[in-house]
Structure 1
Amino acid sequence: MRRLFLFMIFCAAGFLSHAQEFSSEVWHDGYLITTEDDTVRGLIKYDMEANIVQLIQGNVVKTFSSHKIFYFEIYDKLVDNYRQFYSIPYNVNYNYEIPIIFEVLYEGPLSLLSREAIVQESVSNSSAYWGGSFIQDKVHYTFYFLHKDGKIDIYLGKKSDLMNIMSKHSSEVKSFIKKNRLKTDELRDLIRITAFYNAI
């Protein structure tokens, strides 16, 4: 009986990990603006790692590379919100710039952007009946800051790096983070910090 119970727990954990849906794996209602200023509407699926967007119009699936995209917007049912993306030139190697897809999390004089990837991580199982760990897929975000002059800084979550990026008002930002107990590597808190900085 106990073996059956353990087996059921194991299967349930496996089912939950497989049943999890990620926004980049499903189709969304939306529209896309090409670099030639054409607006195309339909069902959209994006792939930031490959820097492509697929769009279903009628019964035809069209694929757009980041070189052909200016902007696209989707209504993401998984998060119940509209999301906006731009294809922006970015220096991927020394002196080598290509357009890649960024999501805009906050737009202002200093804009907060992100890119996402699905990664696998080991998660500890705290069950009294079944210890050890299992592998789980998770969305990992890499953040970037876009300045007014078009310069893009990658941001890896360190508070000191954030203070350098926001050096104009670093003391005010430090106080705001401390007062509100914000974490500089969490998406929601980073949006709040960026909004505060832009409001100063």
Structure 2
Amino acid sequence: MMKAIVKLYALIPVFSLLIFSGYAQDEFPSQIWHKGNVYGIDGQGVSGLLKYDLDNNLVQMKGDVIQTLTAANVAYFEIFDEVYGGVRKFYSLPYALNGDYEVPVFFEVLTEGDQIALLCREYIATDARNINTMGGMGMNPFFGPQTMMGYRLAFNYYFFKEGAIERYSMKKRDLFEMLPGYEDEISLFMRKNRLEHDKRGDLLRITAYYNELDKN
């Protein structure tokens, strides 16, 4: 299945995994310089400090000057996340992100097999949380809990299969449509391992299990 990606850029990908629970507000991964490598569409790689911007599909390289590259001239880039430890890989793939016209878009590859790959795109979402503010006199009874506006790391997930990228709705019934043919096996696997249909690490395990089933 991933041969379709290889044909796009004439590269042989080697995928690795990083599972992380979240970052502090000032430590979102897209706001940090990471050690990594950038590979152009000609296959040539350059190493350095990288920062990525998935909203605008850009990757920056830090040197004497900061060089900004777009998904149109990058085949893929990889970073080593020093906060959580692990290599993460992002591929530039054609996709109609906003409308019907396909453009190069960066996707992180979480896991892949002969039939299906699980991709994702992270973003920073607003997170409103109720926090009880307790002072020396206690919580103000007239106002009650205070609402603090913060941010959290969130993800959109996609499945790459049959040469096309399909966005996952995060609904359980749609997961079985994305991973057809083994609903009973996947349901049992999820129950035995207490896996959810809408969590990053769980989706990765489910997709990897599906790819193993499909080999038999």
TM-score with structure 1 length normalisation? 0.85
Q: Distance in 1 between matches of 2:107 and 2:95?
A: 10
**Which structure shows the higher strand fraction?**
1
User: 2:170 is matched with which residue: 154, 157, 171?
Assistant: 157
User: 2:209 is matched with which residue: 178, 196, 200?
Assistant: 196
**Count of aligned pairs:** 182
Q: Distance in 2 between matches of 1:75 and 1:99?
A: 23
* Residue of structure 2 equivalent to 1:113: 119
Contact 2:25–2:151 (CA<8 Å) still a contact in 1?
no
1:67 aligns with 2:78: no
**Which structure shows the higher helix fraction?**
1
Query: Where does the alignment leave 5 or more consecutive residues of structure 1 unmatched?
Result: 1-16
Structure 1 vs Structure 2 CA RMSD: 1.8
The aligned amino acid for 1:154 is R
The aligned amino acid for 1:172 is E
Q: Closer, same or farther in 2 for the Cα pair 1:168/1:65, shift >3 Å?
A: same
Q: How far did residue 113 of structure 1 move? A: 0.6
Q: SS of the counterpart of 1:168?
A: coil
* Residue of structure 2 equivalent to 1:124: 130
User: 2:157 is matched with which residue: 116, 130, 143?
Assistant: 143
Q: Closer, same or farther in 2 for the Cα pair 1:37/1:120, shift >3 Å?
A: same
1:20 aligns with 2:26: yes
1:134 aligns with 2:140: no
User: 1:175 is matched with which residue: 162, 166, 188?
Assistant: 188
User: 2:82 is matched with which residue: 77, 82, 90?
Assistant: 77
TM-score with structure 2 length normalisation? 0.79
Q: Distance in 1 between matches of 2:103 and 2:93?
A: 8
The aligned amino acid for 2:177 is N
Structure with the larger RCO, 1 or 2 (CA within 8 Å, 6+ apart): 2
Q: Distance in 1 between matches of 2:57 and 2:92?
A: 9
Identity of aligned residues (%): 37
Query: Where does the alignment leave 5 or more consecutive residues of structure 2 unmatched?
Result: 1-22, 140-144
Q: SS of the counterpart of 2:185?
A: helix
